């Protein structure tokens, strides 16, 4: 059986795949920017590992599985996926993202990076001798918009710091770490008014696109910090920039962006606005989950699904069933 992957994933995202496959799979690693070759191989393979599916305009009679190497479904044109093709995703990212979120919040309240820069210049600003002071995390409130895998792991780690956790979403969690308070989706503005930190960890859907815009920023505390580890377009790009620039809110930690490069050499700016000029914004290149351990866990899960497909066994994390499985 054959599986198609992007050439750039062979040495990074899927480097462990050959050693974890226990069934007879041939891995086709193709430059996805070479559209003709990519489409040629797509007609031949039994499985595709990719976060994206757009109508290829060709029949894919052999394609039994589209395996996402991540959790988000927003890169898929579901209506053009063949009826005989299953779609599965994979999580495993909640632990490193939760660690990243807590680290970012601790950095925000302690201002450790700024203190380090000052001391390297023999500047004692922030010292107990001269001030100014920095904040404490204890007693703060965080609102987690999208209380799923990531939200529960963040709550588990941040509660011991004395932080009150508000969950927000379409339904209350029935398992895992519970929030201290839970609000439903028609109570967004109430949540925003209460929080010192607001975490975006919801999937990108028609309902969540543009969820946070100008009117929502006006409901937040002037000191509130918004953290986005989900998808850029859940927050209106211009509204976020203006809210930070005009100090309507305390600032932002942005890991999910509005523009992405095809290659690292492209030097693509992450936004149409100059967030890099704002001193109340922490920027990272969609790196919150990206650890060696994550890559191994996800690849192990993906290999298990490919092995199951080869053995005609039930697949894991199915988000779209093939017509043969219904």
List pLDDT tens digits, range 303-322: 999 999 999 999 999 999 99
CA distances from 144 to 27, 48, 293, 317 (A): 39, 33, 25, 24
Domain for residue 57, yes or no?
Answer: yes
Q: Is the separation of the CB atoms in 149 and 175 below 8 Å? A: no
**Structure tokens of 195?**
């929080």
Give the model's pLDDT for residue 151: 98
Q: Cα(206)–Cα(227) distance, rounded to whole angstroms?
A: 20
| Same domain for 170 and 238 | yes
Residue 324 has pLDDT above 80, yes or no: no
Domain for residue 326, yes or no?
Answer: no
Q: How confident is the model at residue 326 (pLDDT cuts 50, 70, 90)?
A: low
| Same domain for 129 and 264 | yes
Percentages helix, strand, coil for the chain (3-state, rounded to 5) are 35, 20, 50
| Same domain for 297 and 258 | no
| Same domain for 170 and 115 | yes
Backbone angles phi, psi at 251, to 5 degrees: 155, -160
| Same domain for 18 and 85 | yes
Residue 5 has pLDDT above 90, yes or no: yes
Domain for residue 268, yes or no?
Answer: yes
List pLDDT tens digits, range 9-39: 999 999 999 999 999 999 999 999 899 999 9
Give the model's pLDDT for residue 39: 95
**Using only C-alpha atoms, what is the Rg of the chain?**
22
Mean pLDDT confidence for 145-166: 98
Mean pLDDT confidence for 45-69: 97
| Same domain for 230 and 107 | yes
| Same domain for 68 and 211 | no
Domain for residue 243, yes or no?
Answer: yes
| Same domain for 147 and 10 | no
Domain for residue 72, yes or no?
Answer: yes
Domain for residue 128, yes or no?
Answer: yes
Q: Is the separation of the CB atoms in 47 and 286 below 8 Å? A: no
| Same domain for 309 and 170 | no
| Same domain for 11 and 41 | yes
Domain for residue 112, yes or no?
Answer: yes
Counting the structural domains of the chain, the total is 2
Task: Look up the CATH number of the domain holding residue 55.
Answer: 3.40.50.720
List pLDDT tens digits, range 63-117: 999 999 999 999 999 999 999 999 999 999 999 999 999 999 999 999 999 999 9
List pLDDT tens digits, range 232-279: 999 999 999 999 999 999 999 999 999 999 888 999 999 999 999 999
pLDDT above 90: percentage of residues in the chain: 97
Domain for residue 142, yes or no?
Answer: yes
Query: E strands along the chain, which residues?
Result: 2-6, 26-30, 47-49, 65-67, 86-88, 141-145, 164-169, 181-184, 197-200, 225-228, 251-254, 281-283, 318-320
Task: Show the domain range for 215.
Answer: 94-283
SS3 category, 4: strand
Residue 20 CB coordination number (10 Å): 16
């Amino acid at each position: 059986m054959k599986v198609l992957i992007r050439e750039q994933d062979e040495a990074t995202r899927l480097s462990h795949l050959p050693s974890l496959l226990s069934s007879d799979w041939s891995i086709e690693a193709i430059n996805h920017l070479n559209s003709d070759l990519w489409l040629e191989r797509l007609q031949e393979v039994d499985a595709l590992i990719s976060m994206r599916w757009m109508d290829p305009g060709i029949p894919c009679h052999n394609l039994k599985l589209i395996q996402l190497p991540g959790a988000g479904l927003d890169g898929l044109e579901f209506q053009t996926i063949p009826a005989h093709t299953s779609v599965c995703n994979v999580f495993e990212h909640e632990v490193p993202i939760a660690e990243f979120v807590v680290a970012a919040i601790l950095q925000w309240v302690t201002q450790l990076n700024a203190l380090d820069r000052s001391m390297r210049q023999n500047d004692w600003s922030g010292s107990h001798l001269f001030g100014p002071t920095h904040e404490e995390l204890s007693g703060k409130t965080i609102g987690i918009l999208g209380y799923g895998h990531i939200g529960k792991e963040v709550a588990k780690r941040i509660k011991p710091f004395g932080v009150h956790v508000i969950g927000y979403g379409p339904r209350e969690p029935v398992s895992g770490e519970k929030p201290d308070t839970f609000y439903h989706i028609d109570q967004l503005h109430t949540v925003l008014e209460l929080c010192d930190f607001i975490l975006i960890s919801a999937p990108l859907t028609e309902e969540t696109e543009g969820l946070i815009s100008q009117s929502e920023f006006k409901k937040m505390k002037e000191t509130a910090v918004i953290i986005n580890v989900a998808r850029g377009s859940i927050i209106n790009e211009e509204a976020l920039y203006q809210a930070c620039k005009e100090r309507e809110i305390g600032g932002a930690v942005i890991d999910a962006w509005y523009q992405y490069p095809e290659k690292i050499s492209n030097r693509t700016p992450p936004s149409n606005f100059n967030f890099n000029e704002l001193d109340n914004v922490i920027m990272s290149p969609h790196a919150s989950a990206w650890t060696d351990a994550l890559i191994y866990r996800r690849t192990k899960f993906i290999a298990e699904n490919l092995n199951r497909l080869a053995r005609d066994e039930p697949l894991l994390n199915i988000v779209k069933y093939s017509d043969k499985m219904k």
